[in-house]
Structure formats: C-alpha cells, structure tokens
Amino acid sequence: MVFIKKTREFIDHQYKTPKGIIGAFIGEKMVKQHKTETNWSLELMNIQQGDRILELGCGAGYAIKLILEKSLAEEIVGLDISPTIIRSARIRNKKAIHEKRAKLIQANLKELPFQNEDFNTVFSIQTIYFWSDIAATLSEIFRVLRPEGVVILTFSDGKEDETWEGMKGITENQVIPYMKNAGFRDVSLVRGPDSRGYHTVAVKGTKN
C-alpha cells in the first residue's frame, strides 16, 4: 500500500511539475489526453488579427501550435513552471519562436512577469487544480489583460455520472467570486464536450 501511495504521489507531482524523461513523457501524454478540451477552448476565443495571447500552464505547447496555425495572433506567450515541459514546447514551436511569433517563459502564476495591459486573451487548460493562490493569480490575470480582454479557464468538474463536489465548490465559491471581485464582468460557466468521460467546463470573463 505504501508503494502504491508513493507511486500515485510521484505521478501526481509529475502532472503538476513534469521533470526529466518521465516528465517529458507525461507532457506528451497530456497533449493526447487534452486534445478535445484544447480544441474547444480555442473555439471559445475570438482571436483577432494582431492579438497578443498568454497561456498559463502551456505544457508541451500544443495549444500554442494550433493558435499559430491560424496566423492571426501577433504573438503568443506560453508560461509554465516546469523547465522540462518548456523544452518540449520549444521543440514543438521552434520555427515560431525563431520568427518571434511565440515566446516561452518559466515562471509561477502569482507574479506574472509582464507589463500591465499586455494581452488581449489569457487562457489556461487543465491547470487550475494546481494553482496555489487562486485570488492572486486572477488578480494578476486582470492586471496583464487589456481593456475588453478575455480570460478563459478550462478544467474538468466531474466524470461520467459523478460531479466533483470539491471542484464545484472551488468554482462557485472561489473562481467566480474572485473574478468578479478582481473586476471582470460577464463572468459565466460554460459547459463543453466530455473528454474521455470527463466533464469539460470553462469560466469566462471580460475585463472592464
């Protein structure tokens, strides 16, 4: 039982902060696992010519690659805490990085290393579970967004017939109220397609 527990803890930590060869493998695994919710999240974005976009927890850079293929965004910046996963994202988007259409940064979410009002859209896919301070991160997102900028936070809140009451509580009692307190308007919870049986949802908001 101790071995099983430690193995689960190790795997959970790799999903939070991928490291080494196993971390790189986990990063590519997440690309495959999250394709449905990634594509849906990008559909929610109304990307315009010349937009600057920030992805928090960019993982192996799959969403960045898809956005760049639309040839609309001026630049997309991917931020992640894991140097291992940043390397994977850099390989996947090597050409765009060389052309300065993409940038990858290792940093944490509570103190975003960007100027005020730097981005038109900020999004994150399947990372909110790992945020250590939701209120501080949402405040930072508000700061770096331009007026009328949009935030999209995609995650799962259940599987098949089960609703995860913990995530439901975090959404209703933290994410949505904190977004409103930060100054976002039109804050809403949107239901998306199931992915591998998991319920996909997104919380959206617009900066005043």
The span from the CA of 43 to the CA of 144, in Å, is 22
pTM score, whole prediction: 0.88
Within 10 angstroms of residue 71's Cβ, the number of other Cβ atoms is 8
Backbone region of residue 155 per phi and psi (left: phi > 0; alpha: psi in -120 to 50; beta: other values): beta
The predicted-structure confidence for 162-180, as pLDDT tens digits, reads as follows: 999 999 999 999 999 999 9
Lookup result for tokens 């804050």: 187
Give the pLDDT confidence score for residue 118 in this predicted structure: 98
Confidence (pLDDT) at 31: 78
The CATH number of 2-207 is 3.40.50.150
Q: Where are the domains of the chain?
A: 2-207
Low-confidence ranges of the chain (pLDDT < 70): 1-27
